[in-house]
Chain A
Amino acid sequence: MSEVLVVIDHADGVVKKPTYELLTIARRLGEPSAVFFGAADQADEVASLVKAYGAEKIYVIDDTELKGYLVAPKAEALQQLAEKTAAAGGVAAILIPSSFEGKEVAARLAIKIGSGLITDAVDVQEGPVTTQSVFAGNFTVTAKVTQGTPIITVKPNAAAPEEAAGAGVVETFTPTISDGAKTAQIIATQPRQATGRPELTEAAIVVSGGRGTGGNFEPIEKFADSLGAAVGASRAAVDSGWMPHAFQVGQTGKTVSPQLYVANGISGAIQHRAGMQTSKTIVAVNKDNEAPIFELVDFGVVGDLHSVLPAATEEIVKRKA
């Protein structure tokens, strides 16, 4: 069976959930080989984790020399790995997490190896046939790569991770990186403060606040915490400086597709919908009964979020106790 290269999504060696989703998908297409760009001394730990989700091989690419640069070196490394693997027995597909970085790596790789690219898949089945959600979630599209090795970037929550024991053979791969790939340099990095809440794009529940919060996100955060949810925001809330841009949901922020999305003090503009419309269940709290967000909801409360949310939080805490 041909190998399916899966780029591991991790932060400093801590493997993120989308990795397991990608490995689960990879098993439908061939033999999963996980690709770890990271510190060599974290490789064994990472290998033991991905092995449990079916990774037959783990290619370790030490990124000490690469990580100071933007995507180009990673694309070069993947090209060389794909060529080597193709020569050894074939590559059925290359799966990459659908972050902005992932998409750019995929874009450069597609040109390098002359292969078609599909981005933001919300499902991948045998073929591989991908499903995407387009036009602000108003259309579902199935597609196929028709040239070269299918390169697919996959969104979080595209599959339920399923455990399966893989051989987990660790292999070091050392790519040759050209000087031309080392031209866009990362000069400074400022890590964002951890919130202790789930990652916005991966969370099962997202609670968002908009202009209607008036800048007070406390009711949003407390309500979110009572449900174990991630916190999001509309652009109006971000533009007002109430929340960092990383929390923005929508066309120019994150696209989320959780089990439950709760929009509070958010009117429901098309650009906001683009980022949350495919959520399974949608709830809104808004004091205007004509707010367009109510057209989407499974359940809505017309009321002031500053009184509804604290009372609901109390109610939830009470019921959970």
Chain B
Amino acid sequence: MNIVVCVKYVPDATADRHFEQDNTVDRVGVDGLLSELDEYAVEQALQIKEKIGGEAADHTVTALCVGPEKAVDAVRKSLQMGADRAVHVLDEAIAGSDAVATSLVLAKAVQKIGEDRPIDLIVCGMASTDASMSVVPAMLAERLNLPQVTLASVVEVQGDQVRIKRDNEGSTEVIGATMPIVLSVTDQTGEARYPSFKGIMATKKKPLETFSLADLGIEADQVGLSVAWSQVEDTTARPPRTAGEVVTDENGSGAVALADFLASKKFI
């Protein structure tokens, strides 16, 4: 089985995230890492490979990342977790791309990775922790003309059949499709593994390729900030919430104070 897992390099959510002068997300001046939600995608890709068993050489998990130079960290982490090879699409022209352009780059990269052997499965995270649009997997499916099976909380693969469970607005659903497909998985699929010492040591021997836009046959003017189909006009930091009154409950005083507060705000 030939699996591609899409991993994004994102600013650390626990650090100070902010915008650049041109209103794009600062991805260079802040600490970044492999998007936590994409670790679940790597985990599922590895589990699927492990469950199929057979000759290890017959199954490949390729980590694919579109991002700036530092994004190689995300790529490397995926390799450390157990991916077999990695592709980093790196090109200055990509900076500032929106989801539409990112999905184009990802689609072309998937096609190139699949030149030698067709891709069976593309695994994505449920959302990137910075943009959190949850649209790239659907766009990728649209561009590659593949079925999309998204937001899985449980994934099962049997032969060329994929079945997932997912929580919808008012129900739980079972979705099925025949590979090749685009799959996205949620954090409900189960904890992602930590890189083992062996995994970290093995990384040095694993192939890590870097593609440019030219390698993918994409013109520089098809991507990037200047051609984005949507444009940010303005960004404002939300004024920090000023901490309000905090009372300590003593023999029921907290409940009365709480009711008083709710009444003062007309909630009762």
Contacts and interface: CB of A to CB of B under 8 A. Distances in A.
A binds B: yes
Interface of A: 11, 70-72, 75, 99-101, 103-108, 110-112, 114-120, 129, 133-148, 180, 183-192, 205, 227, 235, 244-246, 251-252, 259-260, 270-271, 277-278, 281-283, 285, 289, 294-304, 307-309, 311-312, 314-316, 319-320
Given A140-B236, A183-B178, A301 B247 contact: yes
Contacts of A244: 167
Interface stretch (B85-93, B132-140, B216-224): B132-140
A146 B219 CA distance: 20
Contacts of B247: 299-302
B29 interface: no
Given A111-B142, A116-B230, A184-B149, A311 B255 contact: yes
A185 B164 CA distance: 11
17 contacts: A11-B170, A99-B169, A104-B148, A111-B139, A111-B142, A142-B232, A184-B177, A186-B173, A186-B174, A187-B173, A189-B172, A227-B267, A271-B13, A277-B241, A295-B241, A311-B255, A312-B259
Given A107-B135, A260-B267, A312-B258, A137 B13 contact: no
Contacts of A283: 258, 261-262
Interface in B191-243: 228-238, 241, 243
Interface in B1-39: 13-14, 17-19, 23, 37
Nearest to B257: A301
A25 B67 CA distance: 36
Nearest to A310: B255
Given A107-B99, A283-B261, A319-B259, A296 B235 contact: no
Contacts of B141: 72, 108
A189 B265 CA distance: 41
B175 interface: yes
A299 B237 CA distance: 23
Contacts of B252: 307, 311
Contact of B245 (A110, A143, A271, A300): A300
A189 B173 contact: yes
Contact of B231 (A106, A144, A270, A271): A144
B114 interface: no
Which of the listed residues A100, A309, A315 has the most CB atoms from chain B within 10 Å of its own CB? A100
B171 A192 contact: yes
Given A187-B176, A311-B255, A316 B37 contact: no
The 9 closest A-B pairs by CB, nearest first: A303-B249, A116-B229, A311-B255, A183-B147, A107-B135, A107-B138, A300-B246, A147-B229, A116-B230
B17 A135 contact: yes
Given A205-B267, A320-B268, A143 B244 contact: no
B163 to A, nearest CB: 7
B258 A301 contact: yes
Contacts of A301: 246-249, 254-255, 257-258
A164 to B, nearest CB: 27
B145 interface: yes
B153 interface: yes
B20 to A, nearest CB: 13
Contact of A138 (B135, B171, B228, B237): B237
B249 A141 contact: no
A110 B258 contact: no
Interface of B: 13-14, 17-19, 23, 37, 98-100, 103, 126-127, 129-139, 141-143, 145-151, 153, 163, 167-178, 181, 186-188, 228-238, 241, 243-249, 252, 254-259, 261-263, 265, 267-268
Which of the listed residues A116, A146, A148, A312 has the most CB atoms from chain B within 10 Å of its own CB? A312
Contacts of B137: 104
Given A119-B133, A140-B238, A289 B248 contact: yes
Given A72-B148, A295-B243, A139 B249 contact: no
A238 B22 CA distance: 40
Contact of A70 (B148, B238, B261): B148
A143 B133 contact: no
A103 B171 contact: no
A70 B142 contact: no
B4 to A, nearest CB: 18
Contacts of A298: 241, 244-245, 261
Contacts of B173: 186-190
Nearest to B129: A251
Given A111-B143, A138-B238, A143-B233, A315 B259 contact: yes
Which of the listed residues B134, B163, B249 has the most CB atoms from chain A within 10 Å of its own CB? B249
A94 B89 CA distance: 32
Contact of A71 (B138, B244, B248, B262): B138
A217 to B, nearest CB: 18
A251 B132 contact: yes
Contacts of B237: 138-139
Given A142-B232, A145-B230, A298-B244, A117 B99 contact: yes
B176 A137 contact: no
Contacts of A191: 170-171
Contacts of A302: 246-249, 254
Contacts of B103: 111
